[in-house]
């Protein structure tokens, strides 16, 4: 395995695998340090979503707050930091819910979902390249937004479907 590219957040490595007939195949893998996604739930049941500009898809997407883990950082620490930076909210309760891979066909990125409750509002601390607008939406509306295609971000869909299922159990 050798590194082809190293960027600010991820690197691309070349790996070789052997297929069923014994032939060596070259593959490229994006190696990411991992990330968190936070499902912030207000005391009245509304969910804190954000509308965020995403350069890769050239759209503003509706998402749950999320962010990349820094080197040596515990996932819960990342979750607290990203929740505050992107929404201004602080959570008295932050509970791990799920772990999942974002796109395991070519990206080595594990994402961890945290449920955040007992929220207190405060100022945001967005990165200089972030354009974020908060949205407070109840769960039925969020589920409708998934079905209509208004919410298209995979981590957000996973988090909202998980929460909807937990409430139905």
Active site residue 70: no
Positive or negative: CA dihedral 63, 134, 122, 42 = negative
Cβ contacts of 82 within 8 Å, gap of 6 or more:
36, 38, 65, 66, 67
Active-site pick, 26, 58, 128, 168: 128
pTM above 0.95, yes or no: no
Q: Which residues in the chain are classed under CATH 3.90.79.10?
A: 35-101+111-168
Ranges 20-24, 67-71, 73-77, 131-135: which has the least confidence: 131-135
What does the pLDDT read at residue 129? 74
pLDDT in tens, 32-66: 999 999 999 999 999 999 999 999 999 999 999 99
Domain range 35-101+111-168, CATH architecture: Alpha-Beta Complex (3.90)
> For 45-131, where are the E strands, in sequence order?
47-54, 59-63, 66-68, 90-101, 107-108, 110-120
């Amino acid at each position: 395995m050798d590194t082809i590219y190293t960027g600010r957040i991820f690197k691309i490595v070349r790996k070789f695998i052997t297929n069923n007939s014994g032939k060596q195949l070259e593959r490229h893998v994006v190696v990411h340090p991992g990330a968190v996604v936070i499902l912030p739930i207000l005391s009245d049941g509304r969910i804190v979503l954000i509308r965020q500009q995403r350069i890769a898809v050239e759209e503003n997407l509706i998402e749950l707050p999320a962010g990349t883990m820094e080197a040596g950082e515990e996932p819960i620490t990342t979750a607290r930091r990203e929740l505050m930076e992107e929404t201004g909210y602080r959570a008295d309760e932050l509970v791990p819910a799920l772990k999942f891979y974002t796109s395991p066909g070519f990206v080595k990125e594990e994402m961890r979902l945290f449920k955040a409750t007992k929220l207190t509002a405060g100022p945001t601390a967005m990165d200089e390249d972030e354009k974020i607008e908060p949205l407070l939406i109840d769960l039925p509306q969020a589920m409708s937004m998934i079905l209509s295609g208004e919410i298209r971000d995979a981590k957000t869909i996973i988090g909202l479907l998980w929460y909807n299922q937990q409430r139905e159990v």
